[in-house]
């Protein structure tokens, strides 16, 4: 259950991180052109410093989550499903019919 939750959080971090990186200005504007006039919302410097801090924070959380997932998967790989199987069968093993042993005298007469 915990690994499933961390895996979902990992996917969300990836999506947010990709969006945050694409919204930052570069030599070609990228998706930053679609952000509109965010300068008034994020302060006088614009969204650049906010997006840089957000990208760093999300990247840091992504790395922590990756390490936690790696640790949990390595702990889970040390145990096996076969170790947890309880052998509880009520089936009896078939009994072989008793065969009389062959003596030396019977072997030599054949």
pLDDT tens by residue, 67-99 = 999 998 888 777 676 777 777 666 666 777 777
pTM, entire model: 0.54
Please provide residue 63's backbone torsions phi and psi, each rounded to the nearest 5 degrees: -65, -40
Please say if the pLDDT value at position 105 is more than 70: no
Is residue 31 a contact partner of residue 23, using CB atoms and an 8 Å limit?
A: yes
Give pLDDT, residue 11.
Answer: 95
Q: CA-based angle 7:23:47, to the nearest 5?
A: 115
Residue 69, both tokens: 């997932």
């Amino acid at each position: 259950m915990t690994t499933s939750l961390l895996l979902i959080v990992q996917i969300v971090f990836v999506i947010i991180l990709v969006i945050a990186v694409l919204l930052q200005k570069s030599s070609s504007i990228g998706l930053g052109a679609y952000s509109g006039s965010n300068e008034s919302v994020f302060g006088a410097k614009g969204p650049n410093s906010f997006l840089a801090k957000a990208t760093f924070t999300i990247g840091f959380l992504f790395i922590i989550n990756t390490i936690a997932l790696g640790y949990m998967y390595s702990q889970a790989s040390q145990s096996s499903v076969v170790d947890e199987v309880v052998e509880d069968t009520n089936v009896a093993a078939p009994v072989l019919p008793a065969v009389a042993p062959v003596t030396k005298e019977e072997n030599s007469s054949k």
